[in-house]
Amino acid sequence: MASGNDMKAHEGTYAGFMNLIKYSIPVLVVITIVVIKLIS
């Protein structure tokens, strides 16, 4: 388990993860819509 002394590392990792999610979800949605349009 975490010792409690690595909160700065945790915050940096969490912020990076949230930025990745924030920008990747809309891109995936656009790609999905384009693929659905091409198929139909």
pLDDT in tens, 1-40: 556 678 888 899 999 999 999 999 999 999 999 999 999 8
pLDDT for the residue 28 = 97
pTM of the predicted protein model: 0.63
Half-sphere exposure of 38 (CA within 13 A, CB side): 6
Contacts of 10 (CB under 8 A, 6+ apart): 2
To the nearest 10°, the Cα dihedral for 35, 36, 39, 40?
-150
